[in-house]
């Protein structure tokens, strides 16, 4: 079997790529296709910005993690502990993160309105509430769309989602869709198992059919298909696919992140960021704790989160990557500051927390405040749009950027959210 | 109020149909009379044409016979036609050939494939895509759905059976009361069945009530009390898990029991829910139109003196749903979207007052007709597939470039909307195109194999609501599968006696062999340019004819044209 990344006898990589260049007629000029082989590998080590979204599917109870209310009737049983950041206390079941809080900041004054899973997931990922007439691009699509030009040698997808589907690219089109992988980093179906020259010939035949169909003007999805084909070919021939192979990390590093799905996902995120990927989303589900919330958090969810998240923050810092990598921790909403009959908490969006750090963010601060029972935000409330605007600013992306939706309507990036000033020096 | 609405809907449709018949002579001249003598088809054509006139749009030309044939096979039985089936249709010169084909696809010849396709569709609607969910038995769900679609169970009975099902959800040795219909609700009974209530309302009534569980809805008129009153219909029902010795779930048994009420008085068995401000309120079963039923939590029974008491809440609910004007509209909307790519509302299962449909008269009229025709799904399919909008080309023309729902425009159905096959359709079509499976298996064994394959595309979001999604949506993951997967290796295999081998060893010229590949996959012949490219491959393979055909076949199957329903 011939691997694409092992050059077949009598053919160097450049020759092979020039065969494949025929397929580039699908969408972009052939030069864009062959650029990658001309580039000096060390160029990739140039400084580039990235973001990692730690997505907490189901809606984690932030008053049990980042904004405890000891003494409040419905504050729950957890105690708070001090951290490496002056004046910041967090949950006792996050002891490793407590040592990293000087690298991160907490926004305790989130106040949103979407308390349904699908709507909340959409809103927190896009900055827009769902609208049947337009699909908005998610964080990963927006950030990778804006930053991809800074990593022209990137051959793997600029938006990777580990363990979940994230939210799609909306009107930016399928070329900015998340590339979804499992946390073991196994990517299926990479190898056609035939001579690369023959692969190139097949792709030329395919390009002919694609072009004919696109020329018949039947709608945009025909065009999108051709663009995704091109990205796929690029990925199949790339050595950068090594970045997914998380199991190749030394054992002690793997153990530091934790041998859990989320741990491996965070480790993979670091590898992908090193390879130049602008946006990685790592999913940790299981926060929809309508029943028995406290043992679930203290025995399972928080230890898994604590280990992986703290390892990620410290590893990025040790490697000098944290200054160029934004980290965002959030779910679709939080949970009620009441404890229900089943010893759980239900959906709650009115007062809750997100955590950010790295890149251009000020570190080790707390923004905003909730009331003593956690039921109200008592400082200026912030929205999904505001968090998004702040993340974009931390990455150096202009908030003046305007997209054009497919119907021609201009759409301001981050839905005109306001930067959260306290997060910047 | 509910009865009034129903009468109004029915009367309106009758009026419109009468008007349609009255104008028959003129309309027949204008649209060529191609409604096949079916008044409902005529009604659709006139309603849609009126929309074009209002918008100042011209419809695209008709699709070619090959395109239409491919389309109707995909949408009715979930796969593309074989070369033989296509050839037969193209050779038919009867003016009724489209109606004949639809009749055949809905008839005895294709009953198993019809059932397989709609089982796939409804399995996703009813229990989602997650193949690892322990609280449902997909096999049991499918067995029940296959039987329902094989005998064309009327839709009202279909809905009633699903909403009221009791018994065990898995068909295993030692289980006597198997009823696969229980799988619809077997995984939705936690916390007093709030998911059962939410999904029943959404799927069968087009009401999105999941938000009103916690608060009055800011956009539609849904009130929190309505959610809990609706969910009260499910409070006699319990899902009992039975375990194997290995502690795996053997089956889930859905049972109805007396409900004592949260206050302990079964004569008036109430539930309590909490307002945002912490106040508790009481709820009894009340249907969405305000109809109340008995508050008793007892199942029906007789006292010693013969006096009857009690009520079966789910059965009462099913009766109320059958009478609701929303019920036929939701299924009409769902079926229209299945065949035309977009429904009259978006999303298709939200018919709330805040979400006005694009073609209200058409939706009401078809809903009323569907009720009058005894909820016969095959009749509804016939009306839609023989309608003018379904017959149009997917090529956009000068007169309708604006008609692009992908841009957020309200669909006018002035051309066929390009869309990707569902994963299940692609799988079956690959088997068909390559004749990899001559018997075209429709049974449970084949379904399980397909499930394993589909599993690679499923993303479960891990919430209590069991939301999921698919990466079979035009992503890189999908393209990699089409390029390199085992399934594709089989589909493009050159083994003795296989599809490519038979074409290669046939006694025809190379040009005819290339034609055969194109007809099998795309229902058309190759263009001059494509023939020239194919010949390049023939030369490159240096006399390895089957190798060259394999390359062409791989390219054809990977094309946008193959994977799109167009």
Q: Which two tokens stand for residue B183?
A: 């799988």
Q: What angle do CA B26, B29, B32 make, to 5 degrees?
A: 140
| pLDDT single digits (tens) B258-269 | 999 988 889 999
- Residue A217's alpha-carbon distances to A94, A210, B57, B398, B472, in angstroms, are 56, 12, 17, 11, 23
The hierarchical CATH code for the domain A50-185+245-423 is: 3.40.720.10
In three-state secondary structure terms, B256 is strand
Contacts of A287 (CB under 8 A, 6+ apart): A56, A57, A58, A59, A60, A61, A301, A331
pTM: 0.86
Contacts of B530 (CB under 8 A, 6+ apart): A208, A209, A212, B518
Backbone angles phi, psi at B160, to 5 degrees: -60, -45
Find the closest chain B residue to A283 by CA distance. Answer: B461
Find the closest chain A residue to B411 by CA distance. Answer: A133
Residues of A in contact with B406 (CB under 8 A): 219-221, 406
Q: Which two tokens stand for residue A141?
A: 């699509």
In three-state secondary structure terms, B419 is strand
Tally of CA atoms within 13 A in the half-sphere of A262 that contains its CB: 23
Cα–Cα distance for residue pair A116/A114, rounded to 1 Å? 6
Residue with tokens 């995909």: B74
CA dihedral B480, B484, B489, B492 (to 10 degrees): 80
pLDDT at A61 over 50: yes
Can you give the pLDDT at residue B440? 59
> Is residue A111 classed exposed, middle or buried when 0-12, 13-18 and 19+ CB atoms within 10 A define those classes?
middle
> Residue B125's closest CA among B199, B54, B194, B41?
B199
Can you give the pLDDT at residue B478? 93
Can you give the pLDDT at residue B2? 41
- Segment among A26-30, A335-339, B188-192, B397-401 with least mean pLDDT: A26-30
Q: Which two tokens stand for residue B295?
A: 């508050």
- If contacts are CB pairs under 8 Å, which of residues 376-395 in chain B contact chain A? 394-395
Type and span of the H or E element at B534? helix B528-540
* DSSP state string for A43-87: GGGS---EEEEEEETT---GGGTTS--TTSTTS-S--EEE-SSTT
pLDDT at A4 over 60: no
Sign of CA pseudo-dihedral A76, A80, A85, A87: positive
CB contact under 8 A, B540 and A198: yes
Can you give the pLDDT at residue A419? 97
Can you give the pLDDT at residue A20? 53
Residues of B in contact with A198 (CB under 8 A): 540, 551
Cα–Cα distance for residue pair B473/A179, rounded to 1 Å? 11
Q: What residues of chain B score a pLDDT lower than 70?
A: 1-33, 210-222, 276, 436-442, 462
Cα–Cα distance for residue pair B254/B252, rounded to 1 Å? 6
Candidate from A178, A212, A290 with C-beta closest to B530: A212
Picking from A119, A130, A181, A221 by the largest number of B CB atoms within 10 A of its own CB, the best residue to mutate is A221
User: How many contiguous H segments (helices) and E segments (strands) does chain B have?
Assistant: 26, 11
Find the closest chain B residue to A344 by CA distance. Answer: B191
- H-type alpha helices, A329-420: 384-394
pLDDT at A38 over 50: no
In three-state secondary structure terms, A134 is strand
| pLDDT single digits (tens) A301-324 | 999 999 999 999 999 999 999 999
On average, the pLDDT of chain A sits at 88
- The full length of chain B comes to 566
Q: Is B536 on the interface with A (CB under 8 A)?
A: yes
> Residue A46's closest CA among A149, A134, A199, A179?
A149
| Preceding peptide of B347 cis, ω within 30° | yes
Q: How confident is the model at residue A31 (pLDDT cuts 50, 70, 90)?
A: very low
Greater confidence (A8 vs B39) lies with B39
- A177-182 average pLDDT score: 93
Sign of CA pseudo-dihedral B245, B247, B252, B256: positive
Residues of B in contact with A190 (CB under 8 A): 480, 484
Q: Are A93 and A106 in contact (CB under 8 A)?
A: no
Q: Which two tokens stand for residue A333?
A: 């909403």
Picking from B219, B278, B475, B536 by the largest number of A CB atoms within 10 A of its own CB, the best residue to mutate is B475
Q: What are the sequence ranges of the domains in chain B?
A: 2-62+325-420, 186-322, 423-565
E strands of A201-321, at which residues? Answer: 279-283
Greater confidence (B10 vs A199) lies with A199
CB contact under 8 A, A214 and B560: yes
| pLDDT single digits (tens) A245-287 | 999 999 999 999 999 999 999 999 999 999 999 999 999 999 9
Can you give the pLDDT at residue B441? 66
Can you give the pLDDT at residue A407? 74
Can you give the pLDDT at residue B444? 85
Residues of B in contact with A208 (CB under 8 A): 529-530, 533, 555
């Amino acid at each position: 079997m011939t691997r694409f990344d092992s050059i077949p006898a009598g053919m160097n990589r450049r020759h092979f790529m020039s065969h494949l260049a025929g397929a580039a007629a699908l969408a972009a000029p052939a030069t864009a296709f062959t650029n990658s082989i001309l580039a000096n590998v060390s160029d990739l080590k140039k400084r580039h910005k990235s973001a990692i979204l730690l997505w907490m599917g189901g809606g984690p109870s932030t008053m049990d993690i980042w904004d405890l209310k000891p003494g409040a009737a419905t504050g729950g049983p957890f105690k708070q502990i001090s951290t490496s950041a002056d004046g910041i206390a967090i949950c006792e079941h996050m002891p490793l993160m407590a040592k990293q809080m000087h690298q991160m900041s907490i926004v305790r004054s989130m106040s949103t309105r979407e308390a349904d899973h699908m709507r909340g997931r959409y809103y927190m990922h896009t900055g827009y509430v769902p609208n049947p007439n337009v699909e908005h691009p998610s964080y990963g699509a927006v950030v990778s769309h804006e930053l991809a030009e800074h990593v022209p040698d990137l051959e793997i997808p600029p938006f990777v989602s580990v363990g979940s589907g994230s939210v799609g690219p909306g009107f930016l089109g399928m070329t900015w869709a998340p590339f979804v992988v499992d946390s073991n980093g196994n990517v299926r179906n990479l190898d056609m198992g035939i001579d690369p020259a023959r692969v190139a010939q097949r792709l030329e035949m395919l390009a002919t059919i694609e072009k004919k169909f696109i020329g018949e003007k039947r709608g945009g999805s025909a065009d999108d298909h051709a663009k995704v084909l091109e990205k796929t070919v690029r990925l199949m021939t790339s050595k950068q696919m090594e970045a997914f192979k998380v199991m190749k990390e030394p054992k002690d590093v793997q153990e530091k992140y934790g041998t859990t799905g989320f741990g491996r996902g965070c480790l993979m995120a670091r590898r992908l960021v090193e390879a130049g990927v602008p946006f990685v989303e790592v999913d940790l589900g299981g926060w929809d704790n309508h029943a028995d919330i406290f043992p679930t958090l203290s025995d399972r969810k928080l230890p898994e989160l604590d280990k992986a998240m703290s390892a990620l923050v410290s590893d990025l810092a040790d490697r000098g990557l944290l200054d160029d990598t934004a980290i965002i921790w959030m779910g679709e909403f939080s949970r009620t500051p009441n404890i229900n009959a089943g010893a759980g908490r239900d959906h709650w969006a009115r007062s809750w927390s997100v955590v950010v750090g790295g890149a251009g963010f000020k570190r080790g601060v707390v923004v905003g405040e909730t009331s003593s029972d956690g039921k109200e935000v008592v400082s200026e409330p912030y929205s999904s749009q505001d968090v998004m605007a702040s993340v974009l600013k931390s990455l150096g992306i202009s908030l003046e950027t305007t997209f054009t939706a497919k119907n021609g309507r201009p759409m301001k990036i981050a839905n005109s959210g306001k930067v959260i000033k306290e997060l910047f020096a | 109020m509910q009865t009034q609405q129903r009468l109004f809907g029915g009367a309106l449709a009758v009026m419109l149909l009468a008007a349609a018949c009255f104008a028959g002579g003129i309309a027949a001249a204008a649209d060529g009379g191609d409604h096949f003598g079916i008044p409902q088809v005529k009604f659709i054509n006139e309603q849609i044409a009126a929309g074009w006139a209002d918008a100042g749009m011209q419809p695209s030309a008709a699709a070619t016979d090959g395109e239409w044939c491919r389309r109707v096979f995909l949408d009715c039985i979930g796969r593309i036609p074989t070369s033989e089936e296509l050839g037969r249709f193209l050779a038919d010169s009867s003016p009724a050939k489209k109606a004949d084909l639809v009749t055949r696809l809905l008839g005895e010849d294709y009953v198993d494939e019809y059932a397989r396709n709609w089982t796939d569709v409804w399995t996703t609607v009813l229990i989602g895509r997650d193949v690892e969910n322990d609280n449902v038995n997909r096999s049991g769900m499918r067995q029940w759905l296959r039987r329902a679609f094989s005998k064309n169970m009327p839709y009202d009975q279909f809905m009633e059976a699903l909403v009221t099902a009791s018994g065990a959800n898995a068909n295993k040795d030692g289980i006597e009361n198997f009823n696969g219909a229980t799988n619809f609700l077997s995984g939705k009974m936690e916390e007093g069945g709030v998911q059962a209530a939410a999904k029943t309302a959404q799927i069968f009534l087009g009401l999105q009530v999941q938000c009103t569980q916690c608060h009055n809805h800011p956009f539609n008129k849904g009130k929190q009390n309505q959610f809990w009153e609706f969910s009260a219909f499910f409070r006699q029902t319990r899902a009992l898990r039975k375990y194997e010795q290995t502690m795996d779930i053997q089956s889930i048994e859905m049972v109805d029991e007396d409900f004592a009420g949260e206050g302990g008085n079964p004569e008036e068995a109430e539930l309590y829910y909490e307002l945002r401000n912490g106040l508790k309120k009481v709820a009894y079963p009340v249907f969405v139109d305000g109809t109340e039923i008995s508050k008793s939590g007892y199942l029906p029974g007789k006292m010693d003196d013969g006096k009857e008491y009690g009520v079966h809440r789910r059965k009462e609910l099913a009766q109320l749903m059958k009478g609701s004007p929303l019920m036929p509209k939701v299924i009409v909307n769902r079926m229209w979207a299945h065949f035309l790519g977009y429904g009259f509302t978006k999303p298709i299962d939200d018919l709330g007052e805040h979400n006005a449909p694009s073609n209200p008269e058409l939706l009401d009229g078809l809903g009323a007709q569907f009720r009058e025709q005894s909820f016969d799904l095959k009749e509804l399919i016939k009306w839609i597939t023989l309608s003018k909008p379904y017959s149009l080309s997917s090529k956009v023309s000068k007169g309708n470039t604006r008609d692009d729902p992908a841009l957020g425009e309200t669909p006018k159905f002035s051309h066929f909307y390009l869309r990707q096959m569902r994963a299940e359709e692609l799988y079956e079509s690959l088997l068909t195109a390559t004749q990899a499976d001559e018997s075209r298996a429709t049974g449970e064994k084949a379904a399980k194999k397909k499930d394993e394959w589909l599993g690679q595309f499923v993303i479960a979001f891990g919430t209590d609501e069991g939301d999921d999604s698919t990466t079979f949506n035009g992503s890189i993951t999908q393209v990699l599968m089409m390029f390199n997967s085992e399934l594709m290796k089989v589909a493009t295999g050159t083994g003795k006696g296989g599809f490519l081998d038979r074409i290669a060893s046939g006694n025809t010229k190379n040009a005819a062999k290339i034609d055969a590949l194109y007809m099998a996959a795309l229902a058309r012949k190759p263009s001059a340019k494509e023939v020239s490219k194919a010949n390049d491959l023939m030369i490159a393979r240096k006399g390895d004819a089957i190798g060259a055909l394999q390359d062409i076949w791989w390219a054809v199957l990977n094309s946008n044209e193959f994977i799109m329903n167009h």
